[in-house]
Structure 1
Amino acid sequence: MHQYKIVRAGQPLDNAKKALIMIHGRGANAEDILSIAPHLNVADYALLAPQATGSTWYPQSFLAPPAQNEPWLSSALEVLGKLVVEVEAAGITKENIFFLGFSQGACLTLEFIARNANRYGGAVAFTGGLIGDKIYADNYKGDFKQMPVFIGSSDPDFHVPVERVHESTRILKSMGADVTEKIYSQMGHTITHDEIKWANQQVFR
């Protein structure tokens, strides 16, 4: 098990009613993803951003066979699971725990919630899809009970094929998630004001 630093911002966990777990992309860091928070309706949330060792959660593309990304992938998913346990131990219910990730962090976000489907507060994936050389549906279980999810991505995106975004949306919807998917033509590998607006409307409302 790797040791991960957790960068904390927003409200103290013990005082907050809601928590947002924010997951950075490859080559970035926890402070980078936290810099989005002022643009989101999360002023009263505790913010928790784990920092990946060497700024990457797993070494290969998210489209590689999962075994090629082990043990890093399992370790990263375990970090998110431990964060959820910590947040719940502070008295915040699952319905008030939210997730957000960009790029590699968006892939990790979607993979984690699909493997642990529940009625969390909601999830935002800025440019990402479920992980693997194909969709491993047997890994995914649970019921989202209409949990809101926003997925935004570019067509094309150099890292994330739009078809994987569509496949991921279908899986999440089949598990009871209320998914809003927005595909932007030629957006590039970034986060736009429009995506932020949709995330606020659909998830952080």
Structure 2
Amino acid sequence: MYSHTKQIKTAGAAPAVAKAALILLHGRGGTAANIIGLARELDVQDFAIYAPQATNNSWYPYSFMAPDADNQPALNSALEMVDETVKQVLADGIPLHKIYFLGFSQGACLTLEYITRHAQPFGGAVAFTGGLIGERLNLDNYKGDFIGMPVLITTGNPDPHVPLTRVEESVKVLKSMDAAVTLKVYNGRPHTISQEEIELANSTVFI
């Protein structure tokens, strides 16, 4: 088991002149550098980009639906790393309502878990193939109010790592906390990010 060493790669606009900030969370086996490359496909040209790097290229060791204890202490450390990234963005002078999140796969799960534990009107969030984390969802973990914040969640059906039932359960939780959720399910889509999903993120969140 492991904790994460703080490493945050930055790119994009300088925070002093940035229109907003985008926090990118890579998937299992991915890197901060390769998910930064995804930003070139998004309508975030004027954003400051922040991408934390997971130790061992994985935010937590097992499935996001494994028993909670199996993924500790890595999961709590990962959530703390996201929180430290948010604090860095705020310290750089970018306000909370201009902070956006995007994650893929394991990073999408971490994105949803973090924002739902700290529900407030951030700029918006995109979860490319992910759901809230836990063998069962502990609703006591989720507090706050998104006040209409846009959230896009996409997934394939079936997906080898993320059951549609958990995605739908997650959507229900976020909607109950006043997130404006767009859910798009792609039948037969492999575990990847399609061009259509990128375009959907641009039209629903990065607008």
Look up the SS of the partner of 2:64 in the other structure. Answer: coil
CA distance in 1, matches of 2:120, 2:66: 27
Q: How many Å apart are 1:4 and its aligned residue?
A: 2.5
Calculate the aligned-residue CA RMSD, in Å: 0.8
Amino acid in structure 2 at the alignment position of 1:93:
P
Structure 1 residue ranges, 4+ long, deviating more than 2 angstroms after superposition: none
How many Å separate the matches in 1 of 2:7 and 2:87? 16
- Name the SS of the counterpart of 2:120 in structure 1: coil
1:101 maps to 2:98: no
* Structure 1 stretches lacking a partner, 5+ long: none
Residue number among 6, 13, 16 corresponding to 2:15 in the alignment = 13
Structure 2 distance, partners of 1:31, 1:129, is 23
The alignment partner of 2:144 has SS state of coil
Matches within 5 A, 1:124-163: 124-163=126-165
Partner of 2:24: 22
1:17 deviates by 2.9
Give per-residue Cα distances to partners, 1:153-204, cap 9 Å, x unaligned: 0000000000100000000000000000000001010001111111001100
Unaligned ranges ≥5, structure 2: none
Counterpart CA distance in 1 for 2:175 and 2:181 is 6
SS, match of residue 99 in structure 1 = strand
SS in 2 for 1:36: helix
- Return the offset for 1:85: 1.1
Q: C-alpha offsets along residues 86-106 of structure 1, whole Å, 9 cap, x if unaligned?
A: 111122111100000000000
Aligned position for 2:202: 200
AA aligned opposite 1:156: P
Q: Tell me the equivalent position of 1:191.
A: 193
> Residue type matched to 2:64 in 1?
F
Q: Deviations over 1:98-143 (max 9, x none)?
A: 0000000000000000000000000000000000011111100000
Which of 28, 36, 39 is equivalent to 1:37? Answer: 39
